[in-house]
Structure 1
Amino acid sequence: MEHSSIKELETEKEILEAFSIIKQLRTHLNENTYLDLVTEAKEKDNYKLYALIDDNEIVALTGFKPMITLYYGRFVWVCDLVTDTRKRSKGYGEQLLAYVHKWAKEYNYESVALSSGIQRKDAHHFYEDKMNYQKVSYVFKKRLV
């Protein structure tokens, strides 16, 4: 990790280079849908996509967006956080989430929030035990199509 850096992915080429990693988390996406959603989210929702690059290779990604709600106030919502399955347990997720915390503080956001699938027990331990997140709610979803 001595040669690692965190970089915002802004061009179509950069975004597409990250697809093989995001696909590990968002298995339902194909490359075209992924690109369309990231592009629209960046334009309409101020979505940010950052890569952790180690030895010139993307090893982890986070996607987040600043938001304001009556419940949370000014906060950053982490939409995506994934480390390449071949590179896990090396501190990459922690480094990216710490970067999101720093970004949020720099832009005067009060907190960082995220949701995690019920089945992702290892992720829950990471958020609660390693990153000191508190479980504050359940997230419910209803498909309309």
Structure 2
Amino acid sequence: MDRIDIRELITEEQLKEGYNVMRQLRSHLDEVAYLQLVNEAKRIENYRQFALYANDKIAAVIGFQPMVTLYYGKFIWICDFVTDELKRSKGYGEQLLTYIHDLLLSEGYETVALSSGLQRESAHSFYKDKMKYEQVSYVFKKTL
């Protein structure tokens, strides 16, 4: 049985370790750009990252930030969430997301939202079927 530990990634060294998994989701970012964006998001948006370690190796990483909108009110936006492609279907994503839900409830949040790329059909099934998320909208983007 795997030894599981979930920790917040705070130090530069921890964030670099998280990049090794996060780059599977954010493949357009090299490590330098990744660290710059994470540090800026932490400073400006109160962005946080957590990782699930299985036997002392990162198996999944999640990044999120608090937001306030007229639609949701005060909530958490999950910006980034990925399980190492070699470690999928072992329950790590479910364990990490459940941990984050419990943490956020203890911090006074009642709503979590995220977007998922159209091509990520297995992720959509995970969110809807396993984690009981509702699909409430489409996200639109325009590059200026």
Matched, 1:41 2:34: no
For structure 2, which runs of at least 5 residues remain unmatched after alignment?
Answer: none
Q: Partner residue of 1:10?
A: 10
Q: Deviations over 1:46-91 (max 9, x none)?
A: 0000010111101110001111111001111111110000000011
Structure 1 counterpart of 2:136:
136
Q: Give the match's secondary structure for 1:74.
A: strand
Q: 89-98 vs 101-110, which deviates more? A: 101-110
Q: In structure 1, what is the Cα distance between the partners aligned to 2:14 and 2:97?
A: 20
* TM-score w.r.t. length of structure 2: 0.97
Matched, 1:58 2:40: no
- Structure 1 runs of 4+ aligned residues shifted over 3 Å read none
Please give the alpha-carbon distance, in whole angstroms, between the structure 1 residues aligned to 2:99 and 2:71.
24
Tell me what 1:97 maps to. 97
Please name the residue that 2:28 is paired with.
28
In structure 1, distance between residues paired with 2:99 and 2:18: 18
Q: What do residues 25-64 of structure 1 show as CA deviations (whole Å, max 9, x unaligned)?
A: 0111100000000000011100000010111101110001
Specify the alignment match of 2:106 in structure 1: 106
Shift of 1:131: 0.4
* Residue of structure 2 in register with 1:82 after alignment: 82
User: 1:3 Cα shift?
Assistant: 1.1
Structure 2 CA distance for aligned equivalents of residues 27 and 19 of structure 1: 10
Query: Does the aligned pair in 2 maintain the 1:75–1:104 contact within 8 Å?
Result: no
* Structure 1: tracts of 5 or more residues without a match: none
RMSD over equivalenced CA pairs, Å: 0.9
For normalisation by structure 1, the TM-score amounts to: 0.96
Partner Cα distance (1:76, 1:63) in 2: 10
Secondary structure in 1 aligned to 2:24?
A: helix
